[in-house]
Copies of this chain bind each other. A is one copy, B any other.
């Protein structure tokens, strides 16, 4: 029995899909103890948009360490935090005319969700929250209450309250009717059994939920619905923000301004724990110390975050992401979609899904991912029954690596369908 099996809790998970011991990583590649090299289409579940060990960022971190910069600062004022705030303001907020204040939370996405829900409840004086079926917001009890996956909910060991789930426009119940109209009718009805919530929390794209992309028009309607009923709109941009689909915030294409935004994962630029809540200035009803956390002042993360925002501009990351995304889309449409008319392709920027739910039994996606790994590609499965292969490489991936990864995926899909006897007849 190896060290991990002997000492680490059974709760460990990804190591079961990718069972090597990894020792080094650079850009979009992971290297194992036994010398294996893998293209990374997983990117730390979205925490590594700038690639592993991005040299621009790394240089800053090492310099900061060498200069004995503050490593841990709680919520004291530090030069590292100041520099991050100024950069975030000048490069992100100001150009988008967003008058947000910034809250540093315990450095996990879940903690930022907890803070956002607390603040919304406090400001509105209502306890309820609407969240969406298919949505994922974290594992601590407050965030878990808004997470729809029953496997995770049942692990709570207690009843989860104060959140009502609404149908999302795609990917689950409600896909066949007008969900905005339904939610509106519930809010209008004083016999609906459901009180007006403080806030609606939404992912513009449900990543864990299976790459369900809310239509831009739907997001606009949701914003209007919140305005109509005096409800705060919280966008959880933890996985699909920080440029994953091109623009820094995923909601930019919808031209909406959320009341609160939750960021984490790639915000530090280097995979270091960090999270933020952004909210409209007039919502800042916090009293000092009402929501605390020892590591809300992870200074190294602030240093990385500032560097990442600069790097983003320097390499024109948004344009590059869209360019590479267009290539991926073409590849998926031309090379993978034809393998079966039961495969669905969807995506944006550098976030793409190959949905095989209709192409075979639930084991199919697992077989594909396993074969990918054998062939040197790390790729995750998401959504109902894990039926969607999620393509989410570092945004900095080279064109060659991107092609290598996609070709591996094609081979794995093709071989897996062949085993099932489910390849398109023309291809057999």
Give chain A's interface residues, CB within 8 Å of chain B: 3-4, 7-16, 18-26, 30, 33, 44-48, 52-53, 58, 61-62, 65-79, 81-82, 85-86, 88-89, 101-104, 106-111, 114-115, 117-118, 120-122, 127, 131, 133-135, 138-143, 145, 147-159, 161-165, 167, 172-174, 176-177, 181-182, 185-186, 189-195, 198, 209-210, 264-265, 270-273, 277, 279, 284-295, 298, 300, 383-385
Shortest beta-carbon distance from A380 to chain B in Å: 10
The answer on a CB contact under 8 Å between A76 and B18 is: yes
Neighbouring B residues of A159 by C-beta, 8 Å: 127, 158-159, 161-162
The answer on a CB contact under 8 Å between A289 and B140 is: no
Shortest beta-carbon distance from A211 to chain B in Å: 13
Q: Besides A106-B111, A106-B139, A172-B191, 20 other CB < 8 A contacts?
A: A8-B101, A8-B103, A8-B104, A9-B101, A11-B288, A14-B74, A15-B76, A24-B69, A44-B73, A61-B65, A106-B108, A114-B140, A120-B157, A150-B191, A150-B192, A158-B161, A174-B182, A177-B177, A191-B383, A271-B298
The answer on a CB contact under 8 Å between A71 and B8 is: no
Neighbouring B residues of A192 by C-beta, 8 Å: 133, 148, 150, 165, 172-173
From B111, B133, B271, A140 is in contact (CB under 8 Å) with B111
The answer on a CB contact under 8 Å between A44 and B294 is: yes
The answer on a CB contact under 8 Å between A154 and B22 is: no
Q: With A33-B79, A131-B193, A145-B141 in contact, do A291 and B61 touch (Cβ < 8 Å)?
A: no
- CB-CB nearest 9 A-B residue pairs: A72-B271, A121-B157, A165-B193, A141-B142, A140-B140, A11-B286, A148-B193, A13-B289, A173-B185
Q: With A23-B69, A78-B21, A295-B47 in contact, do A148 and B191 touch (Cβ < 8 Å)?
A: yes
Q: With A190-B149, A287-B11 in contact, do A70 and B23 touch (Cβ < 8 Å)?
A: yes
Neighbouring B residues of A115 by C-beta, 8 Å: 11
Q: With A190-B149, A294-B47 in contact, do A110 and B140 touch (Cβ < 8 Å)?
A: yes
Shortest beta-carbon distance from A134 to chain B in Å: 5
| Closest Cβ neighbor of A147 among chain B residues | B193
Shortest beta-carbon distance from A4 to chain B in Å: 5
- In the assembled complex, 19 residue pairs joining A and B whose CB atoms fall closer than 8 Å, in A order, are A4-B82, A9-B277, A19-B77, A45-B294, A53-B71, A110-B111, A114-B139, A120-B157, A140-B143, A141-B141, A148-B193, A150-B190, A150-B191, A150-B193, A151-B289, A165-B194, A173-B182, A176-B177, A191-B384
The answer on a CB contact under 8 Å between A44 and B24 is: no
Neighbouring B residues of A12 by C-beta, 8 Å: 75, 104, 288
Neighbouring B residues of A191 by C-beta, 8 Å: 133-134, 148-150, 172, 209-210, 383-384
Shortest beta-carbon distance from A14 to chain B in Å: 5
The answer on a CB contact under 8 Å between A9 and B284 is: yes
From B14, B106, B118, B289, A156 is in contact (CB under 8 Å) with B118
Neighbouring B residues of A3 by C-beta, 8 Å: 82, 85-86, 89
- Interchain CA distance A23-B76 in the complex, whole Å: 11
The answer on a CB contact under 8 Å between A72 and B44 is: yes
